Structure 1
Amino acid sequence: MTITCEEDINVTEEVYRRPLFTMPLYRYYRLPLPMEGAPLEEDFDAFVTVLRESPNLSLRRDVSRPLPALLFSCQVGVGRTNLAMILGTLVLNHLKTTQEPPQVEEAEAKPLFQVIQTLINRLPEGQQVMEEVDQAIALCSEMHNIKEAIYENKKKLEAIGDDYQIQGSTTKDYFLHRAIQSLERYFYLIVFNAYLHEQYSLGFASNFSQWLCAHPWVYRLLACMDLSELSAPPDLVTKGARVLVAHEYLSPDILSTVKEMKVANFRRVPKMPVYGMSQPTSEATGVVLTHLTDEKRKYSHVLWVNLQEELVLEGNGQVFTPREPSCLEQHIPVPATDPTQIEVLLYTIYTA
C-alpha cells in the first residue's frame, strides 16, 4: 500500500463522523466494550446516556415519525456487535410499537443455571424479563448465540478427560473461565432488561450503576456465579492436589486469647453482649459456652452464627481447611445457597 498524502489517512473518528456533514440526523457514539464477558457498569451507564440523548428513543417521542436505525459495529462484527444488537432489540421492545414482535423458533428447553433461576425468582416479573432477553438473543443469533455459548462451553468443560495447557491455562480452567464469562454476559442482559422495565418509563432517572447499588443482592449473586466448588471431588485432598492447612497458620492469635479461651481472637463489644472469635475446636466451643453462661455473665440464651463459607475439618483437636499448595493464603470459598451443601461436601471429604 502506498500513501501519497496526509489526506489518505483517516483515524476511526474521522471515518465515522464524516457523515455528520451530509446527514443532519446522523449521530455517532463510541462505546468500547470488552471482547469477552459482560460490559462494565459504566459501559451500561454510557449506553443509557446514549438513550437519554436520543429523543426518538423516548417514550414521549413523536409516534408519527419512524424509529431511528440502530447500527452497531466492532472489529469483526460478531461478539461485541452481537451483544449491542441484543441491547438495541431490548430497548426497542420497550417502546411498545404497534408492530408485531418477530417470531422466532422455540429452542430446545434446557435446564436453567442455579444463579439464573435465583435471579429471575428475585426480580419483579423475572420470568417475563428473562423470556424477553431470550427472544432478543434468538433474533440476533445469526452469527452468534450468547445463551448457547454458555452450554457449549459447559459441555466442553465436562468432556475434558486428560487436562493440558491452552493459552497459558489448563483446559479445564480455560473452558470454566469461558463458561463463566458467557453466563455473566447473559446474567447482565437479564439484569439490564429488568432495569429497562423500571427506568424506561421514568426517563432513566437513575443510571444503571445507581440502580444496581439499590439492589445489592445482585452483587451477591454474581459473587456466587462459579459453583464448580460444589462439585469438587474429595480426592483433591487425598491425591495431594489440595492440602489441609492448620488453623494456627491461617489465623494468628493477635489478641492472645487461646491460652484462656482455647480459641483465637475472642473479644467482646464494650458493654454489649456481642462477641466474636475465630473458628473454634470442639474443646473451645465448650469453653466459650461455659464462659458465657457462668455465674458472672449468666446468659441463658446464646445465638451463635457461623459466617464461614470455606470447608473446615477438625482432627485430633486441630482445625484444618483445604487450600491450593501454590497459594496457601488464598481461601477457597464454597458459594453454597444452603449451609447443608457445605456439610455434605465436608462429609464426602471426611469419608473419602
Structure 2
Amino acid sequence: MLIRRAQLVSAGEEDPILGGASALAGMGGMGMGRAGAASEGSQLDLLGMAEQESQNRAMLRMVYILEKGLSTTASPRSAVDWMLARGPLIADLKAAILGNYRCILQLCSVLSQGSFGKKVVDEIINQCDVMINLREVILMHRVQYSTTGEGPALEKALGCLERYFFLVTFGAYVNDGSSSHFKTSFANWLGARPEITSMLYAFRQKGKRLYLFRPVEDLSLLSEESLG
C-alpha cells in the first residue's frame, strides 16, 4: 500500500491514504501561490479536524485496551474509573496508542519528512484495523505485561514495536525512492543510514528494554496492588 500510494502521488493523483490535504501536510504549506492560498485555510481546517478525530479515537481505544488488559486482574474497577483516578498517566497512554513512543519520535527526527511519513503509516494501520491495529497491539501487550509480569507478553510488545519501527522506516524509503523508481534497494538504503541502524540495535539487546516504550516504560500503577 505504501508503494502504490507513492506511485499514485508521483503521477499527480490524489493521495489515496490522506486525501487532497496531504500535500499541505507534507510540505508544511510551502510552495503555494496566491491561487492556492485561498484554500490554505480550509485545508488547515481539514487537517485540524482530522487531528481532533484522531485524538478522540485514541481516547476511546485507550479505554478499550485498558478494559481488556485490566480484566486479567482481580480488580473490579473499570478502565474509566481507573483513568479518572489516575489522570497524569492518561496523556502517556494516549501518546502510546498514537504511536508516539520516544524511539519512534527519535526515528522520525532523522528521517526526511519523518513526522509526515509516520502519519501516512498510521493512517494505513487505521484503515487495516478490521484485522489488527499494530499500535494498539503494542500497548495491549505492554499493559498485559504490567499486570501479569509474563515474559511472553513483553516479548510480543517489543516485537510489535520493532515492526512498527520498520514500517515507519520503510515508509521513508518509499518516499525517498519513488522518484528514482527504487533503483536503490531497501537494504542498501538502510545500510547508508547508520543513525537508524544504531537505533535498531537497541531492539536486539538482551533484557527487558522497557525504556523503548517511553513514555509508558513504567506502568507500575497498573499492578493489582495499585488498583486494589
The question of whether the paired residues in 2 share the 8 Å contact of 1:157 and 1:175 is answered with yes
Matched, 1:138 2:126: yes
For residues 90 and 142 of structure 1, do their structure 2 counterparts lie closer, same or farther at Cα, with a shift above 3 Å needed? same
Partner of 1:91: 3
Q: 1:188 aligns with which of 161, 166, 173?
A: 166
Q: Which consecutive residues of structure 2, in runs of 5 or more, have no partner in the other structure? A: 20-49, 59-93, 213-228
The question of whether the paired residues in 1 share the 8 Å contact of 2:95 and 2:101 is answered with no
Matched, 1:110 2:68: no
The structure richer in strand per residue is: 1
The TM-score normalised by the length of structure 1 is: 0.35
The question of whether the paired residues in 1 share the 8 Å contact of 2:17 and 2:124 is answered with no
Using the TM superposition, give the Cα deviation of residue 102 of structure 1 relative to its aligned residue in structure 2, in angstroms: 6.3
Using the TM superposition, give the Cα deviation of residue 122 of structure 1 relative to its aligned residue in structure 2, in angstroms: 1.1
Matches within 5 A, 1:1-352: 89-94=1-6, 95-96=8-9, 97-98=13-14, 101=17, 106=54, 107-108=57-58, 109-111=94-96, 112-160=100-148, 171=150, 173-225=151-203, 228-229=208-209
Please tell me whether Structure 1 or Structure 2 has the larger radius of gyration of its CA atoms. 1
For residues 160 and 121 of structure 1, do their structure 2 counterparts lie closer, same or farther at Cα, with a shift above 3 Å needed? same
The one-letter amino acid paired with 1:155 is V
User: Cα deviation per residue 1:76-99 (whole Å; 9 max; x = unaligned)?
Assistant: xxxxxxxxxxxxx21222121236
The question of whether the paired residues in 2 share the 8 Å contact of 1:146 and 1:182 is answered with yes
Count how many residue pairs are aligned between Structure 1 and Structure 2: 134
For residues 219 and 110 of structure 1, do their structure 2 counterparts lie closer, same or farther at Cα, with a shift above 3 Å needed? same
Partner of 2:29: none
d(CA) in 1 for partners of 2:145, 2:119 = 26
Using the TM superposition, give the Cα deviation of residue 198 of structure 1 relative to its aligned residue in structure 2, in angstroms: 0.6
Using the TM superposition, give the Cα deviation of residue 228 of structure 1 relative to its aligned residue in structure 2, in angstroms: 3.6
The one-letter amino acid paired with 2:198 is R
User: Cα deviation per residue 1:233-289 (whole Å; 9 max; x = unaligned)?
Assistant: xxxxxxxxxxxxxxxxxxxxxxxxxxxxxxxxxxxxxxxxxxxxxxxxxxxxxxxxx
Question: Which 10-residue stretch deviates more, 103-112 or 182-191?
Answer: 103-112
> Structure 1 vs Structure 2: percent identity of aligned residues?
27
The question of whether the paired residues in 1 share the 8 Å contact of 2:17 and 2:123 is answered with no
User: Larger relative contact order (C-alpha < 8 A, sep ≥ 6)?
Assistant: 2
SS in 2 for 1:141: coil
d(CA) in 2 for partners of 1:188, 1:99 = 22
Q: Which consecutive residues of structure 1, in runs of 5 or more, have no partner in the other structure? A: 1-88, 162-170, 232-334, 336-352
d(CA) in 2 for partners of 1:157, 1:175 = 5
User: Cα deviation per residue 1:9-66 (whole Å; 9 max; x = unaligned)?
Assistant: xxxxxxxxxxxxxxxxxxxxxxxxxxxxxxxxxxxxxxxxxxxxxxxxxxxxxxxxxx
d(CA) in 1 for partners of 2:111, 2:15 = 27
SS in 2 for 1:142: coil
The structure richer in helix per residue is: 2
